[in-house]
Amino acid sequence: MDLSAARPLAGGITEREFTLDAVPGILWTPARASASAPVPLILLGQPGGIGLRRMYPALAARARSAAADGIATVTLELPGAGQRPPLPGADAVRAELRQALAAGEQPTEEVIDRLILPLVEAGVPEWQRTLDAVLGLPEIGGRVGVSGGVIAMGVRLALVDSRIAAAGLFAGSFVPRTTLAEARRVRIPLHVLLQWDDEGNDRGRALELFDAFGSPEKTLYANMGGHTGVPAFAGADAARFFARHLGRR
Amino acid sequence: MDLSAARPLAGGITEREFTLDAVPGILWTPARASASAPVPLILLGQPGGIGLRRMYPALAARARSAAADGIATVTLELPGAGQRPPLPGADAVRAELRQALAAGEQPTEEVIDRLILPLVEAGVPEWQRTLDAVLGLPEIGGRVGVSGGVIAMGVRLALVDSRIAAAGLFAGSFVPRTTLAEARRVRIPLHVLLQWDDEGNDRGRALELFDAFGSPEKTLYANMGGHTGVPAFAGADAARFFARHLGRR
């Protein structure tokens, strides 16, 4: 991992850009984190295809909130986003998706698979390498969470990476059938956000996914409003979920 | 209202039993509440037919939590519960309900109506008289909330009593069709708890009720476990909902 110099931001938080195998990312740490007092980590997911630069304000706000709870955060440009080359077939399947939605139809399972699964297959191993690198830093240690972004990626990471102790998921993107099947094998504590009136989202599928999770502790937290309308108090309750599960015991 | 002497409990909370038109109730206030610093109030609902004495430990725990946030709480024996005479027809309809459930059937809409509506009709006016009396005390003032108990009673009170500024509802009892219709006209902020695996509860009806509420701010908060398994963190998040809506601005 190629880390830039630490840049102090307002509010006791340090920002470092990095590249990992030429993919850009950002690491935020509470300024007081040190080798003798290492902090837990949350991996921040992102929506597909938007890119780190446009997502920066929202990501930095979540990083600040986590840092106030003594938790570091890291995010990585997704495959196909920002300056990264598009995933094979991505343009074609997005065109098919737009066509279906414009016709007032739900996309088929096959379109959802082609839209989401390549991102999961390419992105999750990159997230794991990011965790390898960041958890090697002396000031990072303890439990690891994953928060937000493409929900199929969060579910896959929670399933395949035993370092993930808790997941805050946003049921606001398409859920492939594979993800439903994987959800049954997930056992870690979950906090699942759902926007009840999310225009582009299949609420029934989201409820089916929540029901499928095998975790003994799972909370569905549904609020009014569209995809981008998550209220501030929902963010605060999600932050408490992570503080409860990642904080010092 | 006939108030007993104040009894100080541990943790800065005062308990007073009372009777109102011969119906027993309990009022808890933060010890520091006074005429010059009055506190907001939450009316604590109860499940039907169990009675104040058996519910006391759970109610007192919620009273303590509210008092820690500077909020008073009051509860009243429900019609037909404790030492109160049974509601007309209550025994017959409960026998029909038990019969349906024993046969593995959902109760009919007609049975749900006969089970719940008499409680709503008799109980909600009593709650309103309780509010009249308690809000007349000098140390109680500010906003009023309603929390838990038979959800049809909470919905009715929220609809007919403009003093209710926020409602924390527990979607764990039968929902008559009338309640669904009334829900569409409710506009106050809502925090709706649902136990996902509640054996005796119709989850589909609970989701339909949540969808029906006309409130611009409503949160569905669903957790794993049965009817009595609401996790402690869900109580804490509900407490924050009330602190946000009833607290000083």
Read out DSSP for A15-61?
Answer: EEEEEETTEEEEEEEETT-BTTB-EEEEEEP--TTT-HHHHHHHHHH
B233 and chain A in contact, CB less than 8 A:
yes
* Distance of residue A47 Cα from the nearest chain B Cα, in angstroms: 23
What are A30-88's pLDDT values in tens digits?
Answer: 999 999 999 999 999 999 889 999 999 999 999 999 999 999 999 999 999 999 999 99
| Confidence (pLDDT) at A137 | 96
In this structure, is the dihedral angle defined by the CA atoms of residues B94, B95, B101 and B107, taken in order, positive or negative? negative
CA distance A70 to A39: 6
What are A81-96's pLDDT values in tens digits?
Answer: 999 999 999 999 999 9
* Distance of residue B79 Cα from the nearest chain A Cα, in angstroms: 33
| A224/B215 Cβ within 8 A | yes
What are A182-230's pLDDT values in tens digits?
Answer: 999 999 999 999 999 887 788 999 999 999 999 999 999 999 888 888 8
* Distance of residue B167 Cα from the nearest chain A Cα, in angstroms: 15
How many Cβ contacts (< 8 angstroms) between chains A and B?
61
pTM of the model: 0.86
Domains assigned to chain B: 2-85+122-246 (3.40.50.1820)
ipTM above 0.90, yes or no: no
Letter for the amino acid at B115?
A: L
